[in-house]
């Protein structure tokens, strides 16, 4: 067995050269192809995707994260899966090994590869992790921390070693195999953070950390309940991501409660997910007695293979857009149905536009006034739909090009879009006015150690301006030269920033840039002066905020800023130097939208239901003019298998 030790992480390409060189000298030629970690594989070997998957048990990934995993693997993605527990449940090492054989069989099947693996031992800091690498696809690796996994009491309603270590101060959890290791909560978090730094993922996939039921009150098959190890694993991952930030997408998956929701996978997706799970179940004696007599998936698993739902964050702002006749619409990703949903303010009902996503949306108008939507699926692909009139939306079309980390930003005029791809570079695209098609994504000049989010603005000459910062907090600007060329990135002299970027073109045709100062965490404003690269002195606006500020021109063409001061906190408005509290508590960040001479503000009230309120400013006072119902519980579906027209009306009962 080969032991690989990583205590520091050099740049991926240099580490690849070093690792192969050392392995060839110390072992034998060809072995390094089977044992290198994902971070040392060339970007093109992973086809733009390196997924880090962390779950509690062997089969959690197969049941709750597919079809996303199989779709990414079939597209050539690299994948590192970490199973935290031994999943032995009174079966000891023999049962643990058989379940490990099962997940290897399932992943080999997903990859269309021979089920042959190279076993190694990976040392990350003080943690020793068993690792298996698929011989014909070295970008696919399955790792096992093998934490002991009995119930500590009679079963449901009691703790497990992992959930106890996660929830009770001073408690630890031990591994099942040799060498026996002991971890407390902080050590588990630091091990996960070290793996994030090592593998440099483009996506991190984990289970649902938002389940509010205490571990000791969880029960099997109770509505809304999960497994304590599922919740604990997700909470540890979420904390590890805070300790190891980076340019990666974060995708949480609902587990047991999906059986209570509508089936949302297509027949093809269900067939594929079923066959993948069976490859695992043939090795799990509690599920099957072998391939010939296996009835799996059965019971709850039969429901799980028909469904896939994401953990939604209520803090995403809604999107507002007017139709050709002047009616106003909300657009949101459903927290229950994972679909794209449209609320017609006049008709007071939802239209479900399908798709399956938990990301924010980008809405815009095409040059002819028709409405457009951009959405991102959980594999990083971008999809677009257009409404030719006020009622119907065309089927979703995939935009060719690189996989992206977030839903693209669209310019207020709607003709240009910006995204960060999984290679860490920014890409830009524009709409062809002749056929409403988006052009191919064009890579901007690289910005070393760039971070997301960025901001996009279009000046009076139609040229795009992109603003971004790097990991050190330096602020940069790049300006479009022509349809195919850009100027070089230029540093903007300002104190280090901490994201929160947003831009608007003011009534004088100058770009205003809003940002978060890294030291004070307060809102700063920069106003463009003479020349595209010249800026006035930064102005401290004295407000702390989360996310990004919402910007709009007001009734008198003044710039109005709306922001949320803290998670779940107040929505405040900054208007001509005056700070006005619009709402004391909000579950989401705000959105501003001006229609004609009327300014609107929308946000999500606190509470379990995903409802949105619409406020209109009348004579200087904010008046609530609409409150949506919650989006329908069903309606999510594959982007790629939508009918020609995807609008489905839904009337709240």
Q: Token digits for 593?
A: 């939208």
| Residue 191 backbone dihedrals phi, psi, to 5 degrees | -65, -45
Position 38 pLDDT exceeds 60: no
| pLDDT tens digits, 357-408 | 989 999 999 988 899 999 999 999 999 999 987 678 999 999 999 999 999 9
Last residue of a domain, one of 256, 280, 304: 304
Q: What is the CATH number for 583?
A: 2.120.10.70
* Average pLDDT of the residues in 101-106: 98
Range of the domain at 220: 44-304
Last residue of a domain, one of 249, 273, 304: 304
285 with 342, same domain: the answer is: no
Position 642 pLDDT exceeds 70: no
Place of tokens 């014909």: 136
Question: Starting from the edge strand earliest in sequence, which strands make up the sheet with 371-376, in order?
Answer: 362-365, 371-376, 382-387, 397-398
Q: What is the CATH number for 129?
A: 3.40.50
Distance, first Cα to last Cα, the chain: 62
Contact status, residue 121 vs residue 136, Cβ threshold 8 Å? no
Last residue of a domain, one of 304, 332, 361: 304
The pLDDT value given to residue 389: 78
- Name beta bridge partners: 175: 147
d(CA 429, CA 112): 34
pLDDT-based confidence at residue 650 (cuts at 50, 70, 90): low
Q: What is the CA radius of gyration of the chain?
A: 25
Count Cα neighbours of 86 within 13 Å in the Cβ-side half-sphere. 26
Cα 6 from chain centroid (whole Å): 27
For the range 151-158, what are the long-range contacts, defined as Cβ-Cβ under 8 Å and sequence gap of 24 or more?
156/218, 156/219, 156/220, 157/216, 157/217, 157/218, 157/219, 158/216
The pLDDT value given to residue 184: 97
255 with 337, same domain: the answer is: no
Share of the chain above pLDDT 90, in %: 80
245 with 283, same domain: the answer is: yes
pLDDT-based confidence at residue 530 (cuts at 50, 70, 90): confident
| Residue 317 backbone dihedrals phi, psi, to 5 degrees | -75, 150
Q: Token digits for 622?
A: 């904010």
d(CA 576, CA 573): 10
| pLDDT tens digits, 565-597 | 999 999 999 998 899 999 999 999 999 999 999
276 with 367, same domain: the answer is: no
432 with 493, same domain: the answer is: yes
The pLDDT value given to residue 314: 82
The pLDDT value given to residue 15: 34
The pLDDT value given to residue 434: 84
* Average pLDDT of the residues in 239-248: 96
For the range 383-389, what are the long-range contacts, defined as Cβ-Cβ under 8 Å and sequence gap of 24 or more?
383/355, 383/639, 384/438, 385/353, 385/646, 386/436, 387/323, 389/324
384 with 524, same domain: the answer is: yes
**Any domain includes 310:** no
Domain count, the chain: 2
d(CA 115, CA 283): 13
d(CA 174, CA 172): 7
214 with 334, same domain: the answer is: no
**Any domain includes 3:** no
d(CA 528, CA 99): 61
**Any domain includes 411:** yes
Contact status, residue 184 vs residue 172, Cβ threshold 8 Å? yes
pLDDT-based confidence at residue 27 (cuts at 50, 70, 90): very low
* Average pLDDT of the residues in 513-535: 91
300 with 374, same domain: the answer is: no
Position 647 pLDDT exceeds 80: no
530 with 565, same domain: the answer is: yes
| Choice among 445-454, 476-485, 499-508, 601-610 with the minimum mean pLDDT | 476-485
Pairing of strands 539-544, 546-553: unpaired
Q: Which residue has better confidence, 113 or 642? A: 113
Q: State the chain's mean pLDDT as an integer.
A: 90
d(CA 23, CA 4): 10
Residue among 129, 143, 118 nearest 30 (CA): 118
The pLDDT value given to residue 14: 32
Element (H, E) at 243: helix 228-243
The pLDDT value given to residue 45: 84
Contact status, residue 561 vs residue 550, Cβ threshold 8 Å? yes
The pLDDT value given to residue 644: 60
336 with 270, same domain: the answer is: no
Q: Token digits for 364?
A: 């815009």
The pLDDT value given to residue 295: 87
pLDDT-based confidence at residue 19 (cuts at 50, 70, 90): very low
**Any domain includes 334:** yes
Following DSSP, what letter does each residue of 473-521 receive, concatenated? --EEEEEB-SSS-BPPPEEE--S-B-S--EEEE-TTS-EEEEEEBTTT-
Position 472 pLDDT exceeds 70: yes
**Any domain includes 550:** yes
pTM above 0.85, yes or no: yes
| pLDDT tens digits, 133-171 | 999 999 999 999 999 999 999 999 999 999 999 999 999
Contact status, residue 543 vs residue 522, Cβ threshold 8 Å? yes
**Any domain includes 623:** yes
**Any domain includes 217:** yes
Place of tokens 């901490």: 498
283 with 330, same domain: the answer is: no
241 with 324, same domain: the answer is: no
Pairing of strands 78-85, 50-55: parallel
Position 446 pLDDT exceeds 50: yes
Pairing of strands 140-147, 78-85: parallel
* Average pLDDT of the residues in 406-415: 89
Pairing of strands 416-420, 409-410: antiparallel
The pLDDT value given to residue 643: 60
Q: Token digits for 463?
A: 């040229």
pLDDT-based confidence at residue 43 (cuts at 50, 70, 90): low
| pLDDT tens digits, 309-339 | 999 888 889 999 999 888 999 999 999 999 9
The pLDDT value given to residue 610: 96
**Any domain includes 14:** no
- Name beta bridge partners: 62: none
Q: Is 170 exposed, middle or buried (0-12, 13-18, 19+ CB in 10 A)?
A: exposed
Neighbours of 262 (CB within 10 A): 16
| pLDDT tens digits, 168-224 | 999 999 999 998 999 999 999 999 999 999 999 999 999 999 999 999 999 999 999
Position 4 pLDDT exceeds 60: no
pLDDT-based confidence at residue 7 (cuts at 50, 70, 90): very low
Position 41 pLDDT exceeds 70: no
């Amino acid at each position: 067995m080969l032991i690989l030790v990583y205590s520091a992480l050099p740049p991926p390409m240099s580490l690849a050269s070093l690792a192969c060189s050392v392995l060839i000298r110390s072992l034998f030629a060809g072995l390094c192809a089977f044992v290198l970690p994902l971070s040392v594989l060339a970007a093109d070997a992973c086809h733009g995707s390196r997924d880090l998957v962390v779950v509690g048990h062997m089969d959690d990934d197969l049941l709750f994260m597919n079809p996303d995993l199989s779709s990414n693997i079939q597209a050539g993605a690299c994948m590192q899966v970490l199973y935290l527990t031994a999943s032995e449940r009174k079966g000891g090492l023999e049962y643990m090994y058989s379940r490990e054989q099962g997940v290897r069989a399932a992943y080999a099947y997903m990859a269309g590869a021979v089920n042959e693996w190279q076993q190694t031992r990976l040392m990350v800091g003080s943690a020793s992790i068993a690792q298996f690498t698929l011989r014909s696809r070295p970008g696919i690796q399955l790792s096992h921390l093998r934490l002991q996994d009995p119930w500590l009491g009679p079963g449901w309603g009691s703790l497990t070693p992992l959930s106890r270590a996660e929830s009770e101060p001073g408690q630890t959890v031990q591994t099942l195999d040799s060498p026996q290791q002991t971890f407390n909560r902080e050590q588990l978090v630091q091990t996960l953070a070290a793996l994030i730094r090592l593998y440099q993922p483009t996506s991190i996939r984990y289970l649902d950390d938002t389940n509010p039921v205490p571990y000791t009150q969880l029960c099997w098959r109770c509505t809304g309940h999960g497994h304590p190890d599922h919740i604990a694993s997700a909470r540890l991952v979420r904390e590890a991501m805070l300790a190891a930030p980076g340019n990666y997408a974060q995708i949480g998956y609902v587990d047991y409660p999906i059986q209570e929701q509508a089936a949302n996978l297509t027949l093809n997706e269900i067939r594929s997910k079923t066959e993948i799970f069976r490859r695992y179940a043939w090795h799990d004696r509690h599920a099957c007695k072998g391939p010939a007599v296996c009835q799996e998936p059965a019971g709850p698993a039969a429901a799980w293979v028909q469904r896939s739902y994401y953990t939604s964050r209520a803090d995403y702002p809604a999107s507002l857009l007017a139709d050709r006749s002047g009616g106003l619409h909300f657009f949101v990703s459903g927290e229950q149905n994972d679909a794209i949903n449209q609320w017609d303010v006049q008709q007071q009902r939802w239209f479900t536009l399908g798709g399956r996503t938990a990301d924010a949306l980008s809405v815009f108008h095409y040059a002819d006034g028709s409405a457009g939507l951009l959405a991102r699926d959980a594999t990083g692909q971008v999809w677009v739909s257009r409404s030719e009139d006020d009622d119907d939306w065309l089927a979703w079309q995939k935009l060719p090009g690189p996989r992206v980390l977030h839903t693209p930003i669209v310019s207020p005029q709607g003709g240009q879009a910006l995204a960060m791809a999984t290679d860490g570079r920014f890409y830009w695209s524009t709409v062809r006015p002749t056929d409403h098609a988006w052009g191919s994504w064009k890579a901007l000049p690289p910005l070393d150690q760039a971070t997301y989010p960025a901001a996009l603005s279009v000046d009076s000459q139609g040229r795009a301006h992109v603003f971004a910062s790097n990991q050190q907090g330096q602020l940069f600007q790049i300006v479009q030269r022509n349809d195919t060329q850009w100027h070089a990135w230029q540093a903007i002299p300002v104190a280090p920033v901490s994201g929160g970027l947003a831009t608007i073109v003011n009534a004088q045709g100058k770009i205003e840039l809003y940002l978060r100062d890294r030291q004070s965490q307060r809102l700063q404003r920069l106003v463009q002066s003479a020349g595209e690269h010249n800026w006035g002195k930064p102005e401290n606006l004295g407000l702390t905020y989360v996310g990004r500020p919402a910007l709009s021109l007001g009734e008198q063409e003044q710039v109005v800023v709306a922001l949320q001061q803290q998670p779940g906190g107040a929505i405040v408005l900054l208007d001509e130097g005056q700070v006005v509290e619009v709402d004391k508590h909000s579950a989401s960040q705000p959105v501003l939208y001006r229609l004609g001479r009327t300014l609107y503000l929308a946000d999500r009230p606190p509470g379990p239901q995903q409802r949105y309120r619409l406020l209109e400013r009348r004579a200087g006072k904010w008046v609530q003019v609409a409150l949506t119902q919650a989006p329908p519980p069903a309606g999510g579906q594959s982007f790629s298998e939508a009918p020609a027209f995807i609008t489905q009306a839904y009337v709240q009962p």
